[in-house]
């Protein structure tokens, strides 16, 4: 059960609040993904015209698929440790790290720790060519 709170309007702004601990996650079931769950905190269906905010949980030993696309990511690692492979470079990442992943760059998040890794990922709701971004 997803708890969605429509907060009082402030200067015509109807805000939405969702708590990740109260949301059901959706398994990321694409080739190359392992042990990844996503929760959409805000997206196009909520009336977000520009950006979507997604929460990812990557289990120990799990990874996102290695992929690339035209849009960028802004990422905040909330907890855990792992690696980000981006454009052929691999860096260690951990809770508190803010990351920028440029568009058109091959990338993958990997959990190399014994605990789960969580991160927020901000993406545009539409790609530069006007198509909807998956998971937005």
DSSP assignments along 20-68, one per residue: GGGS--EE--STT-EEEEEEEEE-GGGT-SSEEEEEEEEEEEEEPPPB-
Cβ proximity of 23 and 53 under 8 Å: no
Euclidean distance between CA atoms 77 and 100, whole angstroms? 11
- Residue 133 clears pLDDT 80, i.e. is over it: no
pLDDT (tens digit per residue) in 64-119: 999 998 989 999 999 999 999 999 999 999 999 999 999 999 999 999 999 999 99
Residues 79 and 21: beta-carbon distance below 8 Å:
no
Give the DSSP letter of residue 96: T
For residues 15-35, average pLDDT? 94
Domain ranges in the chain? Answer: 25-124
Does the domain formed by 25-124 have CATH 3.40.50.1980? no
**Interatomic CA distance for residues 82 and 92, integer angstroms:** 6
Q: Please determine, for residue 12, whether its predicted confidence score (pLDDT) is greater than 90.
A: no
Q: What is the pTM assigned to this prediction?
A: 0.85
C-beta of residue 105 within 8 angstroms of C-beta of residue 31 = no
Q: How confident is the model at residue 136 (pLDDT cuts 50, 70, 90)?
A: low
Tokens of 130: 């006007």
More confident residue, 31 or 12: 31
Q: Is the pLDDT of residue 1 over 50?
A: no
């Amino acid at each position: 059960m997803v708890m969605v709170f429509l907060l009082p309007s402030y200067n015509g702004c109807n805000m939405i609040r969702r708590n990740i601990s109260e949301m059901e996650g959706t398994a990321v079931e694409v080739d190359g993904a392992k042990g990844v769950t996503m929760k959409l905190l805000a997206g196009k269906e909520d009336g977000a015209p520009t950006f979507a905010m997604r929460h990812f949980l990557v289990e120990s030993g799990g990874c996102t698929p290695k992929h690339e696309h035209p849009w960028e990511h802004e990422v905040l690692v909330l907890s855990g440790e792992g690696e980000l492979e981006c454009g052929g470079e691999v860096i260690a990442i951990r809770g508190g790290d803010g990351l920028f992943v440029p568009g058109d760059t091959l990338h993958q998040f990997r959990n190399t720790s014994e605990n789960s890794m969580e991160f927020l990922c901000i993406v545009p709701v539409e790609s530069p060519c006007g198509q909807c971004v998956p998971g937005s």
